Amino acid sequence: MKPYSQLSKEELTALKEELEKQFEDVKGKGLKLDMSRGKPSKAQLDLSNGMMDILNSQVDLVSSDGVDCRNYGILDGISDARKLLADMSEVPERNILIYGNSSLNVMFDTVARAMTHGFLGSTPWCKLDKVKFLCPVPGYDRHFGITEFFGIEMINVPLLPTGPDMDMVEKLVAEDPAIKGIWCVPKYANPTGISYSDETVRRFAHLKPAAEDFRIFWDNAYSIHHLYDDKRDVILELLNECVKAGNPDMVLKFISTSKVSFPGSGIAALAASEANLEDAKKYMRVQTIGHDKLNQLRHVRFFKDMQGMYAHMRKHADILRPKFEKVWEVLDRELAGLEIGTWTKPVGGYFISFDSMEGCAKAIVAKAKEAGLVLTGAGATYPYGKDPKDSNIRIAPSFPTVEELEVAVEIFVLSVKLVSIDKLLE
């Protein structure tokens, strides 16, 4: 296929006419398709239905460490749940604290806690003139939503194939004591799907921030979410690297079983140094008498151990893989060689990241909507919703069926082609 930029004005105009006809045809079908959010499909949710049969009035609701899960008590989680989530986070049990149903909630609470009380006795952030966070971009819109909510200034840091631009991260954190944190999704990042290299993880562990209360917010939401058995990303475990580097308190690791069991009804946890967990518990003790232990019990009885969870994740992969492959098949077939977009091919996670020609993303999302396809808003993957190049679009293939995806991606590529032609004809 010839790059669009090499076509003459006349060729582009003729092509546009032909593509517009195709677009009007699909538009006429009155479709309603959604590739906007990384939600598991019904078939994926069904995989965990057995969990609903595990607890009933006939079974013993006492955990293996003798806790009656129906009652108050046990602030940091029943021991089996601590073991499971510690294994999932690749940390010793002493470094895990079980929370409620959502890791995003834990991240929000952690920033709120730093604002009002500071970390480990440091000045509460709300008393400082300025608090800043580094935001690798493109990134997760809800991370940026938390820091924006608290009035924290966000600084874009380019996300490279190896992780955030570490030259920039090292320089900025060393120079500016107002920089208190960085948002990271180290494995199968949302939305690019890249995983951080060993060198990146080590450089994180060896950071020398000017702020003593600087924290790496390490959101390992997709830690075991592989698409393939034979192609998998493996990342270095950061807490251990930080301990080795003499910086044990610099990292806060967040995790949940949202996309393992049920989003919104899973278990979330914080993995960190014992000092950081003790600090978090001071807050938690006032906040709650304890989280949902029946849900913890249900999860440990259903998965048993990490082997059980890995086997379960393979079933998720079997459902997700054909969907990713369908998206890539259509993108490769329709767009390869046209030089009007690039897209990622991760081996895990929930997203494909698409970069259009500069200045086209908003128009592509709007165009697709005309034909009934909802995409994540352009700009959402950047702090303040502002993509400086207006080119990044997050594609979430998990929720629609393969058949729906085929049509959805056809609409997407038609939208990309039409908007790109308009740009070239400007």
Per CB under 6 A, residues contacting ligand PLP are 38, 102-105, 140, 185, 190, 219, 221, 256, 258, 263, 268
DSSP string, 132-197: EEEEEES--HHHHHHHHHTT-EEEEEEEETTEE-HHHHHHHHHH-TTEEEEEE--SS-TTT-----
* Direct distance between the N- and C-terminal alpha carbons of the chain, in angstroms, rounded to an integer: 22
Q: Which is nearer to ligand PLP, 105 or 122 (CB)?
A: 105
Instruction: Pull the structure tokens for residue 165.
Output: 């631009």
Q: Give the nearer residue to ligand PLP in terms of CB position, either 185 or 335.
A: 185
CB of 189 to ligand PLP, least distance (A): 8
Nearer to ligand PLP, 270 or 414 (CB): 270
The least distance separating ligand PLP from the CB of residue 139, rounded to whole angstroms, comes to 8
Rounded to whole angstroms, the Cα distance separating 24 from 2 reads: 25
Contacts of residue 333, defined as CB under 8 A and 6 or more positions apart, other chains included, come to none
Work out how close the CB of 320 gets to ligand PLP at its nearest, in angstroms, rounded to a whole number: 14
Exposure string of 83-98, with b = 16+ CB inside 10 Å and e = fewer, is bbbbbbbbbeeebbbb
Cβ proximity to ligand PLP: between 145 and 263 the closer is 263
What does DSSP say about strands 373-375 and 33-35: parallel, antiparallel, or unpaired?
parallel
Q: Largest Cα–Cα distance of the chain, in whole Å?
A: 78
Q: Quick one: 256 or 420, whose CB is closer to ligand PLP?
A: 256
CA distance 230 to 219: 24
Shortest CB 102 distance to ligand PLP, Å = 3
Q: Give the nearer residue to ligand PLP in terms of CB position, either 23 or 90.
A: 90
Pick the closer one to ligand PLP by CB: 147 or 190: 190
Residue in the block written with tokens 């939305």 = 191
Minimal distance in Å, beta carbon 138 to ligand PLP?
12
Instruction: Provide the minimum distance between the beta carbon of 40 and ligand PLP in the complex, in angstroms, as a whole number.
Output: 10
Give the residue from 142, 91, 425 showing the smallest Cα distance to 255: 91
Phi-psi region of 193 (alpha: psi -120 to 50; beta: other; left: phi over 0): left
Considering the complex, state which of residue 103 and residue 247 has its C-beta at the smaller distance from ligand PLP. Answer: 103
The nearest distance, CB 344 to ligand PLP, in angstroms, is 15
3-state secondary structure of 294: helix
Exposed/middle/buried for residue 317 (C-beta within 10 Å: 0-12, 13-18, 19+) = middle
CB 236 within 8 A of CB 271: no
Which residue shows structure tokens 């914080």?
Answer: 270
The smaller minimum CB distance to ligand PLP, of residues 219 and 241, is found at: 219
Beta carbon nearer to ligand PLP, 118 or 181: 181
The C-alpha atoms of residue 201 and residue 129 are separated, in whole angstroms, by: 31
Write down the least CB distance from residue 362 to ligand PLP, Å. Answer: 22
In angstroms, give the least distance from the CB of 219 to ligand PLP.
Answer: 5
Least distance in Å: CB of 256 to ligand PLP?
3
Q: 223 to each of 67, 214, 271, 368, how far by Cα in Å?
A: 29, 23, 13, 32
CB 335 within 8 A of CB 120: no
Contact between residue 164 and residue 158 where contact means Cβ atoms under 8 Å apart: yes
Q: How far is the CB of 258 from ligand PLP (least distance, A)?
A: 3
| Nearest residue (CB) to ligand PLP, 38 versus 248 | 38
Residue 297, H or E segment: helix 293-303
